[in-house]
Structure 1
Amino acid sequence: MFERTGLDSGRTNAPPTCWYCIPKALEECPMLRDDFSLYTVAMATPAGVLADMYRPGILRGLEPAGHNVFVAWDDYQHHRYALAAAQVVELHGMQPVCP
C-alpha cells in the first residue's frame, strides 16, 4: 500500500529498503518484479497502522466493520475497535531515482 500525502511525501506499510538490499528484494518478491519505482527518502516517521476494524454487535460481542483501514496514532476514538495488521510510516523528502 502506498498513499501520496503531498508532493514529496506519502504513507506506506512497506518499509524503505537500503540500496544494498534492492537486488535481493527484486529477486525474492514476485510483486516487485511486475512493477516497482525507486525513490530516495530523506526521513520516515511513524504514522499509524493498517487495521481490521470492528464495531459492537447486537447479538455478538464484535462485528467486522472494515479491512486494512488506516488508523492514525492520534485517532484515539478508533483504537479500541482496531486490530492492527501492519505499521504505516510517512515518508518525507521523496525523490525519484532514474534507472
Structure 2
Amino acid sequence: MTSEDEPVQHCTLDEPADLRVALDEAAIEYLDVDDDKTVAIYRSAVFVVEATEGHATNATAFTVELWEPPTDNFEYEPDDLLTTFTDKLIPQKRSQR
C-alpha cells in the first residue's frame, strides 16, 4: 500500500508494543486490516500503520503512511502531521529512521 510518493515515517521501539492498545489509549479511531496493518483516522487524515517487525499486537518496528490528507482546509506539512501522529501513538518510546 505504501508508494514512494506518499509521506512515510519508520519507527523502532525499545520494547514490543501493542499498536492497537496504543491507538485506544491515544483515543485515535482505527480499523484492523490484518495481523500487521491498521488504518487510523487522526485530525481527519487517514494513516496506515503497519508493523514491520512483529505484529500489530507486539511490534518492535512499524511504519506510518499518510494515506489521505485531512479533509478540512487547514494547512499542514505531511512530515509534521506524521510526527504529531506517531508522538501521540507511542510517546517517548520510539526512534525515527
TM beyond 0.5 = no
With structure 2 as the length reference, what TM-score do the two structures score?
0.25
With structure 1 as the length reference, what TM-score do the two structures score?
0.24
The higher radius of gyration belongs to 1
**Structure (1 or 2) with the greater strand fraction:** 1
